[in-house]
Structure 1
Amino acid sequence: EVREAAVRLLARREHSRRELERKLTDRGFSDGPIEEALAGLAEAGLQSDRRFAESWVRQRAGRGYGPRRILAELAERGVDGETAQIALDDEAPDFDAIAEDWYRRKYRDRAPKDFRERAQRAQALYRRGFESEQIRVLTGS
């Protein structure tokens, strides 16, 4: 029963182990059967934090988020830092191009009118998870 619920969740999208644990606990299953079911799913290759992380990197980079934000979101979802970094390296999105594309769509080609506006733009890029070098290049600061 626990395994079936987990498989149904995985059929919709990839999940990290921690996400599955939380969702199954929320549905009233106890810890022992959850651990057993998740171990079986991982062994069978049906659940993989690595695969989840790769999928998350593709999805979030495609929506215009930077590497720092993506790594933080993966950590929130229970993916260990090493697995998250490997997924980021394997997928290797061009974050310079992603940052530039997001910046151009958001601000068109209007130059910031003053220091305050330049700082606001830099903060927006920072919140989206881009690196300081990418921010500096785009905002000219």
Structure 2
Amino acid sequence: MTDDDFPPAPQAKRKRPGLSLKARALRLLSMREHSRVELARKLEQHVGPDDDLSALLDALEQAQYLSNSRFSESLVKRRSARYGNSRILAELQSHGVQGEDLQEMKSNLAQDELDRAQQLWRRKFGQVAADAQEKAKQFRFFTQRGFSAAVVRQVLKGAPDDDQD
């Protein structure tokens, strides 16, 4: 008997040939928006000797597959119902969003921080704090989520107007 007489042993998984850097970038971008800095950080470990990461990122931006402004809008949309301005802006900066995009997001967020805080207060607490301990708990909740102290004080003064919806 020879080895040819036996069926081949089952293989656990066949490895796919390595994806190109561009294919990896497009796969990541198809899942969600990424900032240039974030995408570069994710792709760095896959850069081969013949790859030029900077040129690839430039090409993706030129083809409008990669956009810091779209990423900023997406992140703000995902986070704004739960977090305050300072937390969202810090996250944008950690992703490399700067300059005009950051200033635009900052001004947009400033317009509705009070409304967002009031909506979050309604969902989370729904009633005015009964004592100082409960009020401190609510204050910490909002400040840990990046809402400004002035906005938190306004929200905690009393029940927000229900007419603003």
TM-score of the superposed pair, with normalisation by structure 1: 0.85
| SS at structure 2 position matched to 1:15 | coil
CA distance in structure 1 between the aligned counterparts of 2:111 and 2:43, rounded to whole angstroms:
32
> 2:120 maps to which residue?
102
In the alignment, which residue of structure 2 is the partner of 1:129? Answer: 146
Letter in 1 for 2:130: K
Q: What does residue 68 of structure 1 align with?
A: 86
CA positional deviation for 1:30: 4.7
CA distance 1:118–1:90, change in 2 (3 Å): closer
Unaligned 5+ residue runs, structure 2? 1-19, 159-165
Q: Which runs of 5+ in 1 are unaligned?
A: none
2:32 pairs with 1, 5, 13, which one?
A: 13
The alignment covers a number of residue pairs equal to 138
CA RMSD of aligned residues (A): 2.3
**Is residue 138 from structure 1 mapped to residue 139 from structure 2 by the alignment?**
no
Quick one: percent identity of the two aligned structures?
A: 36
Q: Which moved more, 1:67-76 or 1:89-98?
A: 89-98
Question: Could you report, residue by residue, the CA deviation over 1:7-61 in whole angstroms, capped at 9, with x for unpaired residues?
Answer: 11111111001110111123x2159621110011112211111110011111111
Change (3 A) 1:115 1:129: same
